[in-house]
Amino acid sequence: MSLDRSSLIPALKNVATRLRIESIKSTSEAGSGHPTSCCSAADLMAAVFFAEMRFDPRNPGNPDSDRFVLSKGHAAPILYAAWAEAGAFDHAELLKLRQIGSDLEGHPTPRLPFVDVATGSLGQGACAAVGIALNARRIASDYRTYVLMGDGESAEGSVWEAANVASVEGLDNLCGITDVNALGQSRATMWRHDLDEFARRWRAFGWHAVVIDGHDMAAILDALDEARRMKGRPTMILARTVKGKGVSFAEGKDGWHGKALSKAELARALAELEKQFVPLAARGPAANLAHQIAKPASVPRAVVAPQPVAPPSYTIGEEVATREAYGTAIAKLGQADARVVALDADVKNSTFSDKFEKALPDRFYQNFIAEQVMIGAAMGLAARGAIPFPSTFACFLTRAADFIRMAAISQVGIKMAGSHAGVSIGEDGPSQMALEDLAMCRAQPNMAVLYPCDAVSAERLVALAAYHPGPAYIRTSRPKTPVIYANNESFTIGGLKVLRESGADVATVVGAGVTVFEALKAYEALKASGMTIRVIDLYSVAPVDKKALVAAARATGGHLITVEDHYRAGGVGDAVADAVAEAGFTVRRLAVQEIPRSGKPAELLDRYGISARHIVEAVRAVAGRAVGASH
């Protein structure tokens, strides 16, 4: 900054007052929002935006700009007010807060160019900030990442997952700020204004912790300077604040969370706030700090175009687990495209993501057993241009279900992979068997859900997922399965493969992953008895090829059977049923319908009704022939 402290501090205090005013006015106009949560953070926001960060309000996507994540997303109005104050858009837009035609939503989303990830589900911002900070290392940039958190969300376990990973990674380019205003939604927060409790915890997690008065502008600036000088570890600034600061009748009082001011209350609050402005010279740098914002250095970088990905190289009939083919595929992708990164949660030798680590260790991020920060960090990396592949056992991804939901809202291109899906994993038992993961991911309207059955389809689908706009989920299997596709076979997101068909088919059987092979076994058994079926590999579970499924149903007498290594709700059966319902077809669904137990994979497939034997029985039933009838 070109201003000295004596001029800068009063100017920043006035910015903070304007941010409070704009936050209160916009929430009152909307009739909803969280004005008191904005007021407690106003001094912190003023200092970070107008004295600390380097960014270009007219080009918020600049890869070398400092990044800001508002983890306490309910304070969105003050984020919008700060960007308007910086000149990103007209102040008049602030009064459209929460209107259906405005991108200034109740909580921030990346519909706004200055928002990297959607926030508002508390405890997620710190995880995303870890990924954003890691991305600076990936592109060799000196940009810094700032994340503003609430004290209430510090009760979330994901915050401490992020704290662990940031410390282990030595992310000294990451600065957290906790707005300790001591009041949550329904009561006082866990540690209220005991700043020493916060400091002890952050220091125990390996962070440099600085305790300040969050309304003392000089102290805020000193803390930000200290964070910038810190090397080898991230910094957390713990700021004691007052909820509703600046508005006497709400200051530090419970019961004001998420409550907009009435017209009378607004008038009273504005009158109080107007009196808090510090007189400044009418003209000069202090009159408009937006002109003083430091711009990021322009760093020229060569644009390295992705190279062609090496094709699969398998032999028909070769037995390869799709989880292993996944590891091969991401390693090939990483070597072809510098944007590709991989994240692990201490299962790299089971998901085979260790193949990526061996080839490209600098772009492999170990999160240990912490799935929430793994997905959150992947979101942050994706928001800044990386193509991240976080992978773990599919059942453990459910621990990060809320992060997956927010990734979909953020529309960021994370490419998740879940291995060890279904009862086919065998003896490890139900705690390790993902049987609801397809439902979890299919529920997101913009997520591609892919389920390869062999090594060739696995490699091809991983490559397609990498460049699919938006999030994707790839379900891989533990058992080795035979390669059935030629290495040059092509696939599409939203496609399927018809593996067996004839003009005399009495039913269509739709499988995915391991059940494709059960369907093929059933085909052979039925063919031997004089009956043929159509067999479909539904490798794209979302989106699905609706036209092809309807055509298959029409060609086989309306007899559709799905078979899946998944619970009945939300998986392959529901995907097919949704696709054909408008055409008047119904689906007979073979799925796991009870809590399974340990056993051999073949035993479990049969016991839980998804083996070839059950497919044969289902076909004979829907085709109108008695089970066991001779032909």
Query: Token pair of 52, please?
Result: 């600390």
Distance CA 71, CA 591 (A): 40
Is residue 70 within 8 A of residue 110, CB to CB? The reply is no
Distance CA 189, CA 180 (A): 9
Under DSSP, the state recorded for 49 is I
Give residue 135's identity as a one-letter amino acid code: N
475 by DSSP, 3-state: which?
A: strand
Under DSSP, the state recorded for 400 is G
What is the C-alpha R_g of the chain? Answer: 28
Query: Token pair of 117, please?
Result: 């990830």
Question: With the C-alpha atoms ordered 129, 131, 137, 141, is the resulting torsion angle positive or negative?
Answer: negative
Catalytic residue among 357, 371, 518, 564: 371
What's the burial of 295, exposed, middle or buried (CB within 10 Å: 0-12/13-18/19+)? middle
Under DSSP, the state recorded for 188 is B
Residue 196 has φ and ψ, to the nearest 5°, of -65, -35
Phi-psi region of 497 (alpha: psi -120 to 50; beta: other; left: phi over 0): beta
Is residue 538 within 8 A of residue 452, CB to CB? The reply is no
Residue count of the chain, please give it: 631
Annotation says 197 is catalytic: no
* Cα angle 112-117-121, degrees, rounded to a multiple of 5: 115
426 by DSSP, 3-state: which?
A: coil
* Cα angle 470-476-481, degrees, rounded to a multiple of 5: 140
What's the burial of 192, exposed, middle or buried (CB within 10 Å: 0-12/13-18/19+)? middle
Is residue 616 within 8 A of residue 526, CB to CB? The reply is yes
Distance, first Cα to last Cα, the chain: 88
Residue 543: asked if its preceding bond is cis (omega within 30°), the reply is yes
Place of tokens 């020229």: 300
Query: Token pair of 502, please?
Result: 């004839």
As annotated, the active-site residues are 371
